[in-house]
Structure 1
Amino acid sequence: MSAGGGRLKDEGTRTQVIIAGGIAGLVSRFCIAPLDVVKIRLQLQINSPWDAVPHPHHGPVYRGTIPTMRAIVREEGWTALWKGNTPAELLYVCYGGIQFTTYRSTTQLLSRLPRRLPPSVESFISGATAGGIATATTFPLDLLRTRFAAQGNRRIYASLISAIQDITTHEGPAGFFRGYSAAVTQVVPYMGLFFATYETLRVPLAQIDLPFGSRDAAAGVMASVLAKTSVFPLDLVRKRLQVQGPTRQKYVHPNIPEYHGILRTILTILQTKGLRGLYNGLTVSLFKAAPASAITMWTYEMALRVMKETTSGELLP
């Protein structure tokens, strides 16, 4: 990551960045998997707790993060909190490696411009580019993660391989990219805001003595909360679009409407649930995003530092 003040710090080699990014994604995903499942369930929920007339036959009605987690464990067992973990682990490892590598390369290219851009602008551009490329490359894994997490006791896909085969057979290659436009529309401003805020906060936080080298984690938490809240409706739209297709009525929430496109999906939600409907699952999303970003940034910086120390044979300050 580029430091503030317009100077590009030593980021290690491309290989070190890829490895550190992959490790960061792997560790982060393992830690926040249950919250991810809860978030997806709440985002796909049509019958909200505040509805005047509940419809229990249309699937469970979840109320809050902890109650939702308890309901999933009670009805589906502890392992249900890790549904979709295999494609998600692959997603996070690949996404992390691609994201940090692209961020590093873009930052280095911007640093060679005849006239340097402000550090926050450089970070925004690099972050947006990194997020867009990483999302485009790994989107099929994101879709598979969502569909597995949306399964209740009724198994739609028996395994990752069978899911790939089933989607290929019944939906074609385009089936792996349902919700793609919403994902890119969301992730470009999200990652731009995240990295710009992260890099800005690292400078003042560097002056504070926090335990376990947690300055990067603290900056990651604050940057994530701001960026996630700003673009959350698009994340919800992405999830709704990802479960469209022939299996739409087979998930734990079988009453998910048929949606077409970003704008029409947003308008449908606004018309049926109001503005509040676009923020289903925001609380747990922040609970998930904050520690995920903190763990990701802390792990990335620590892994990169260890590799650089090992290579140089000397302890960095």
Structure 2
Amino acid sequence: MADLLYDLLSPALSPDSRSPPPDSVALEYLASLAAQPLEQLETVEPQTLAQSSHSILLSLQGLSQRSHKTIISSSESHASLGRALPALATSISDLKAVIPKLDDAAVRFSTTYHKSADNELLKTRKTALLLSRNVERVVDLLDLPILLSSTIATSSSSLTANYASALDLNNHIRRLHTLHPDSSLVSSVAHQADEAMQLMAKNLIASLRTPNLKLTAALRTISWLKRVAPDLNPSGNIRQNGAGDNDGLGALFLICRLSTLMNMLQALEPLRELADKERLRQQQNPPTSGSWSGGQQTERYLKRYIEIFREQSFAIKRISPSVEGAVHAGRADPLQSMPSMLSTFPLHIIEMLVETLRTYLPSVRDQASRDSLLTQVLYCAGSLGRLGGDFGILLASLDLGENLEDEWVEIVRRHRLMAGRLESIPFDLLKTRVQQSGTHSIRSAVREIARSPNAVAAFWRGTVPSALRTGMGSAIYFTTLNTIRQQASALTAQSQLQSHNQHNRPSSSALPKLSNTTNLLSGAFARAFAGFILMPLTVIKVRYESSMYSYASVIGAAHDIYRTERIPGFFAGFGATAMRDAPYAGLYVVSYEQFKKRLGQIYGPGENHRRLPVRAPWPAPRVPSYRTRFDAVKTRIQLQPHVYRNMFHACQMMVTREGVRSLYDGLALRMTRKALSSALAWMMYEELIRRAEATWQRDTGGHGV
């Protein structure tokens, strides 16, 4: 029905010959119209259509009000679409024309930059990529010369130079250069390493010129130079002139030590100028016959000159054989005919000394000063004589003026007499010799003393100052200690009660009973006080025991010390002496009383208590063995106060040059001597106190005060 109505009405709706296809909405509406009665179609349907039209109109108005901007924009876009589509078509046409060209370019790029192709840009890029992946390794390689230079600088500035790390770094760089000889980077690093090693060689050679070079430091430096400077290392090559080319390091060592000696002697230039002026003045105004005045400036210059010459020449002669042994170790050459340079080196330096004496010694007019200088020269000759370089006979050729033979004979006789003069007990003498030399060997010290002209007497050299120091020191120490302990006992109620009960029970000691702290402080103070009072005798005793000084008498020694160093010279090393003796004495008294107490409990009241003071002191000297380090320091300061300025400076120099072991030189000798002397001293002291108290009680009828 709806279809028929649609066909009937379609010509009226569309005047065209072709009618549009039926719409489902229109067909549905026509079907609803056909179902309604005619009256309803005439009355209700027009109203319904009018209402629907009005509703649609309102909806369109609301929509246009709400979305008019969007509609306008859509309209404009729709209008521009007509212009964009032709442009798009044109672009597509151009793209179709360009695509073949792009394809040709891509094919050409792929062919040109293929991995199998040989292209410089590609190689450069590969190199850059390889460098970026290994940038850390390259940076480490570039840092090797800087690290090597800093290691060398650090080792050179430290007190104990150690170039082992620098040598390891240099070996690593050499190994890299061997593995990569064509690398310019590795070659540059190797070149910088060579410059750093040249600086290290300069530092090592400069270290051989230090004034107080020791054997261990010299051997260590020579061993490093053998690795750093292989050109100086013995190679066994023989030159055309027959001279061996295997003594470079030995010659270098002698040259450095000779340069050091010359520099130290040149430092005496102000004194030499004064001596020259004095010599010229004496030549212009000759002294009267028999006059021995004048020459004070020349004496000062010669004394310092001979002292420097003796120290340096002895050190050179003593160290050089060991250096040559280290240089030629494992390189025996039976064809070598040239003698060692060391065999002729002493002649050169001795000629320097003899020429200086020949020039300046006649200016010294004072007989005592001349004798002192000649004795010093003879001692210098004796020191070198122990190493095969005695030049004492050459001094007979010096022009000393009139009565040359008599004066020379007298000087030699006096020198031989002083060499065999008594001094101290063997233990104390050996301890001083070991501590002064730094050789750490008792056997070498005994061998050196045994080579003296009067070996038996040399072991007992300096009995007078040693006896004075020991006797007066014991008296002052025990008097001070007894006074302090008695005063401390009087201030302590418990000590007073114990002292009151001492007459009612047997005791192992006549001394008052005090606390450990009081015993420690009293012993330390008494020992420090006694050490200060006896410091002059201690300095004189140590210098007598040393082989560095030769004094004819105690008064002469005191006069020489006062003339050269004044009053402070008699108290040299007091700080180290106090640090050695005060803690030791305090701990000694504490341990002494404790051991007596323990032994008294073991033996009981019925035991013979006179044995206890003998047995008690034996463990005490072994308790504070640390004191020996201060004993070695004290000896060095008292022997060479101009070299070792104070205790801390002496410790630093000894540890730096000779190691920590040098602080304990003479430990066994001192412990043995102190054990014997302490046991005897305390036994005699307590026995004398006991007998004095017994006599006093007998005289007073057995009643205390």
Matched, 1:84 2:462: yes
CA deviations on 1:38-97 (whole Å, 9 max, x unpaired) are 111111122345xxxxxxxxxxxx43xxx7446524534212222222111111111111
CA deviations on 1:187-241 (whole Å, 9 max, x unpaired) are 21111111111111111112455889332122212111212x0221111101110
Matches within 5 A, 1:255-270: 258-270=643-655
**Would you say the 8 A contact 2:629–2:663 is kept in 1?**
yes
Q: Given the alignment, which residue of 627, 649, 668 partners 1:231?
A: 627
Q: Given the alignment, which residue of 501, 525, 532 partners 1:129?
A: 525
Q: Given the alignment, which residue of 39, 42, 47 partners 2:431?
A: 39
Q: Write the distance in 1 (CA, Å) between the matches of 2:568 and 2:679.
A: 34
Matched, 1:274 2:651: no
SS at match of 2:645: coil
Taking structure 1 as reference, are residues 212 and 151 closer, same or farther at Cα in structure 2, changes over 3 Å only? farther
Matches within 5 A, 1:173-188: 173-188=567-582
Q: Write the distance in 1 (CA, Å) between the matches of 2:685 and 2:487.
A: 21
Q: Write the distance in 1 (CA, Å) between the matches of 2:670 and 2:447.
A: 17
Taking structure 1 as reference, are residues 73 and 214 closer, same or farther at Cα in structure 2, changes over 3 Å only? farther
Taking structure 1 as reference, are residues 73 and 211 closer, same or farther at Cα in structure 2, changes over 3 Å only? farther
Q: Write the distance in 2 (CA, Å) between the matches of 1:116 and 1:206.
A: 20
SS at match of 1:83: coil
Q: Write the distance in 2 (CA, Å) between the matches of 1:206 and 1:70.
A: 45
1:173, CA displacement in angstroms? 1.1
Q: Write the distance in 2 (CA, Å) between the matches of 1:278 and 1:261.
A: 15
Where does residue 36 of structure 2 map in the other structure?
none
The number of residue pairs the alignment matches comes to 255
Q: Write the distance in 2 (CA, Å) between the matches of 1:301 and 1:70.
A: 40
Matches within 5 A, 1:276-315: 276-313=661-698
**Would you say the 8 A contact 1:38–1:68 is kept in 2?**
yes
Matched, 1:99 2:477: yes
Q: Write the distance in 2 (CA, Å) between the matches of 1:169 and 1:185.
A: 28
Q: Write the distance in 2 (CA, Å) between the matches of 1:131 and 1:104.
A: 12
Q: Write the distance in 2 (CA, Å) between the matches of 1:80 and 1:240.
A: 21
1:123, CA displacement in angstroms? 0.6
1:108, CA displacement in angstroms? 2.1
Matches within 5 A, 1:183-198: 183-198=577-592
SS at match of 1:172: helix
Q: Given the alignment, which residue of 610, 615, 620 partners 1:218?
A: 615
CA deviations on 1:264-287 (whole Å, 9 max, x unpaired) are 111111122222121011011111
Where does residue 206 of structure 1 map in the other structure?
600
**Would you say the 8 A contact 1:198–1:220 is kept in 2?**
yes
Q: Write the distance in 2 (CA, Å) between the matches of 1:36 and 1:212.
A: 31
**Would you say the 8 A contact 1:123–1:196 is kept in 2?**
yes
Q: Write the distance in 1 (CA, Å) between the matches of 2:476 and 2:669.
A: 26
1:185, CA displacement in angstroms? 2.1
Q: Write the distance in 2 (CA, Å) between the matches of 1:299 and 1:69.
A: 31
The answer to which structure, 1 or 2, has the higher relative contact order (CA under 8 A, 6+ apart) is: 1
Q: Write the distance in 2 (CA, Å) between the matches of 1:70 and 1:208.
A: 46
1:242, CA displacement in angstroms? 0.5
**Would you say the 8 A contact 1:84–1:146 is kept in 2?**
no
Q: Write the distance in 1 (CA, Å) between the matches of 2:470 and 2:630.
A: 20
CA deviations on 1:1-43 (whole Å, 9 max, x unpaired) are xxxxxxxxxxxxxxxxxxxxxxxxxxxxxxx822111111111
**Would you say the 8 A contact 1:225–1:289 is kept in 2?**
no
| AA of the residue aligned to 2:486 | Q
SS at match of 2:595: helix
Taking structure 1 as reference, are residues 291 and 157 closer, same or farther at Cα in structure 2, changes over 3 Å only? same
Query: Gaps spanning 5+ residues in structure 1: where?
Result: 1-31, 50-61, 247-257
Q: Write the distance in 1 (CA, Å) between the matches of 2:679 and 2:573.
A: 27
1:112, CA displacement in angstroms? 3.5
Taking structure 1 as reference, are residues 48 and 201 closer, same or farther at Cα in structure 2, changes over 3 Å only? closer
| AA of the residue aligned to 1:129 | F
SS at match of 1:187: helix
Q: Write the distance in 2 (CA, Å) between the matches of 1:309 and 1:137.
A: 32
- Percent identity of equivalent pairs: 28
Query: Gaps spanning 5+ residues in structure 2: where?
Result: 1-423, 496-513
Q: Given the alignment, which residue of 539, 546, 550 partners 1:150?
A: 546
RMSD: 2.6
Q: Write the distance in 2 (CA, Å) between the matches of 1:308 and 1:127.
A: 22
Larger radius of gyration between Structure 1 and Structure 2: 2
**Would you say the 8 A contact 1:84–1:147 is kept in 2?**
no
